[in-house]
Structure 1
Amino acid sequence: MDVGAATEPKRAQGLWFEDCGLVIQAEDVLFRVSRDFLAAHSPVFRDMLSVPTPANAETREGCPFVSLPDTAQDFTVFLKALLYYDFFEPPPAQTTCDILFGVLRMSHKYGVDPLRKRALAHIALFHPTTIDEYELTAANPLPSSHWMEELLRREGGLPMIPLARQLSLDWMLPVAFYRVCQHAKEAHVLHDLSADDQLRYILACRMLETGEVSKILNFLWMPIDECSNDDPPTCNRIRIGYRRFAEERRVVSADLASKLPLDVWTSKDCSEMRVCAPCLRAMMDAHGAAKRSFWDRLPSFFGLPNWEELEKMKSEAFE
């Protein structure tokens, strides 16, 4: 039987093909597509559509009809990514949060591995698992950073954590949590994160904003015996002045991102210090060692496995 016109939803623009024989509904949107095309790309749809259609099954305009629990937005971007080659290209092509997240959720749910891996490639660029990758991305913004900038404007990056939890993508969580500690407002955290992740956020912020930043900045007043300045106290005075400057960066503001261990002092800051060459070399070495030590411990602040285990998870996700 045909569904009554009184409840007729709207047709999806660009995704209603008169010569195709399957109608799908997501929320109040209808899609008319090729069942063979969907079955060829998705093992889930292949299994779903292989079930014989009962004689009294619901139809639309004489076509088999399937109603899905997915949002219209997610299913729209999923189909467009499948059908239009230039709609969702691999990085460094630009994309948006809504497109990226929708494609990732739907390709994961319906087993479309090439699309899922393409979405993960976008995400992996901005959720590195090594300190070198993190610093390279921070120092050289990538052409495909639009969606990441949008994500940080959208509740401080919070949507990434529930998405990673939903899809078991723990390898991206250390950097995702770190950015939330930097950018998110507490009201959003309390609204959008699970109770367990709220606790992880609170405990981690307490450690990152205090003791961990202090450890990173210790190089600015550590003893340096190799100082070659004719007046060694000069280098010390300069370093202490920069330490005061760095401490001022730690002030938490409701309007600015928090300066956490990986961001409170950068290589550029070191290069601008007017100290003797041996002092500068010793400080840069100490600063680099402190950052690597912090990075090694970063997952533990959020109750996550170590980087070695997370790297294995990441490799498996791309298999």
Structure 2
Amino acid sequence: MPTKYLAQQLRSDVIKHLTMIYPSKMNELQTYRYLRIPNSDSHSLRAIAMARDHDVPIILPAAFYFASAIAPSQLVGLHPKPRPDDLAAILAGREKITRAAYRTAWSWLFKRLTVDTCYNTRLCEERRLSMIQNISLSPEDAPRLFLRGMPHEDEEDRREDSESSDSDSEYEEERVCRPCLEDWIFSERKNYKKVWNNLPLYFKLPKWEVLLKDSE
């Protein structure tokens, strides 16, 4: 009896540990990343296997997502090797997330400027073009959408730094105006959430609510 209890407790602890690392909420994704084995890309592959073995499907979307952020050339050489259907889902999901990043998460940058209260349309358009160019230089970063800061965050930091300095006008030519930045932040956060809500579907998994119910 004690052995059975200990086994159940161990299983419960493992599941709790995995659900912390591979959460169902976007804002928790970075919170417990330190619990993963440092520099171990295979951690997410082991998590996928454990999720299937222990019937904990709620961790699958985030585990698949972490796996999709691994370069394909590196992924195929990792151990344990993912099941063929899982490998196919990871690679297909990577492509879908890349498209979603450009189409949805970063869509504000590509849209025609429509903020009526924009202080300087020309400067804001130039700043957006600069951001687009920076993103296009590293297309391999697109699958790491949720593992990096949102594009607007650098601009937000720049504005806060310049507004706290004595030479505010010196930086005015280098940043988007406050109304555009606020519109950008609102759009980007909303669209990142949209991509996250669709995360299970990118890997041919059931919707979040179904996974939550199946994990109860």
Tell me if TM exceeds 0.5: yes
Q: Which residue of 2 aligns with 1:247?
A: 136
Judged with a 3 Å threshold, the aligned counterparts in structure 2 of structure 1 residues 269 and 153 are, in CA distance, closer, same or farther, namely same
AA aligned opposite 2:196: W
Shift of residue 181 of structure 1?
0.8
Q: Which runs of 5+ in 2 are unaligned?
A: 159-174
Structure 1, residues 168-226: CA drift from partner, whole Å, max 9, x if none? 211101010110111252323696111211221221122222x1121221111322323
Q: Which blocks of at least 5 consecutive residues in structure 1 are unaligned?
A: 1-38, 44-81, 83-106, 253-257
Shift in Å, 1:244:
0.9
Residue in structure 2 matching 1:148, options 33, 36, 43 = 36
Q: Which residue in the other structure is 1:214 paired with?
A: 102
Report 1 or 2 for greater relative contact order, CA contacts < 8 Å, sequence distance ≥ 6: 2
Q: Quick one: structure 1 residues 244 and 301, their matched pair in 2 at CA, closer, same or farther if it must change by over 3 Å?
A: same
**Which of 131, 153, 157 matches 1:268?**
153
Q: Is the 8 A contact 1:181 1:205 kept in 2?
A: yes
8 Å contact kept, 1:221–1:236: no
Is the 8 Å Cα contact of residues 226 and 279 (structure 1) preserved in structure 2? Answer: no
> Does the CA-based 8 Å contact 2:155-2:176 persist in structure 1?
no
Q: Counterpart in 2 of 1:300? A: 201
Kindly state the Cα deviation for residue 154 of structure 1 after the two structures are TM-superposed. 4.4
- Give the deviation of 1:118 after TM superposition: 2.0
Residues 306, 182 of structure 1: alpha-carbon distance in 2 compared, 3 angstrom cutoff = same
| 115 and 149 in structure 1: CA distance in 2 versus 1, 3 angstrom threshold | closer
What is the CA–CA distance in structure 2 between the aligned matches of 1:149 and 1:248, rounded to whole Å? Answer: 30
* Inter-partner Cα distance in structure 2 for 1:278 and 1:249: 28
Instruction: For 2:13 and 2:43, locate their aligned partners in 1 and report how far apart those are by CA, in whole Å.
Output: 24
Identity of aligned residues (%): 20
- 2:17 maps to what in 1? 122
- Asked whether the equivalents of residues 164 and 173 of structure 1 are also in contact (C-alpha less than 8 Å), the reply is yes
Residue 160 of structure 1 pairs with residue 44 of structure 2: no
More strand by share: 1
- Indicate yes or no: 2:171 matched with 1:281: no
Q: Between Structure 1 and Structure 2, whose CA radius of gyration is higher?
A: 1
Is residue 232 from structure 1 mapped to residue 146 from structure 2 by the alignment? no
CA spacing shift, 1:156–1:237, aligned 2, 3 Å = farther
* Residue number in structure 2 paired with 1:101: none
Given the superposition, is the C-alpha separation of residues 125 and 205 from structure 1 closer, same or farther in structure 2, using an over 3 Å criterion? same
Residue 58 of structure 1 aligns with which residue?
none
SS at match of 1:228: coil
CA distance in 2, matches of 1:272, 1:287: 16
- AA of the residue aligned to 1:260: R
What is the 5 A alignment of 1:193-204? Answer: 193-204=82-93
Secondary structure of 2:137 counterpart: helix
Report the number of matched residues: 195
Shift of 1:265: 4.9
> By how many angstroms is 1:304 displaced?
0.9
Residue 213 of structure 1 contacts residue 260 of structure 1 at CA under 8 Å; is this kept in 2? no
Correspondences of 1:10-89 after superposition (within 5 Å): 39-42=1-4
TM-score normalised according to structure 2 size: 0.78
Structure in which a larger fraction of residues adopt helix:
2
Instruction: Indicate conservation of the 8 Å contact 1:246/1:264, yes or no.
Output: no
Is the partner of 2:76 in helix, strand or coil? helix
SS of 1:288 mapped into structure 2? helix
Query: In structure 1, what is the Cα distance between the partners aligned to 2:201 and 2:21?
Result: 20
- The alpha-carbon distance between structure 1 residues 153 and 313, as it changes in their structure 2 partners (threshold 3 A), is same
Please, which of 206, 212, 215 is the counterpart of residue 311 of structure 1? 212
Q: Distance in 1 between matches of 2:77 and 2:50?
A: 15
Counterpart code for 2:12: K
C-alpha contact 1:249 1:264 (8 A) present in aligned 2: no
* Residue number among 81, 91, 95 corresponding to 1:192 in the alignment: 81
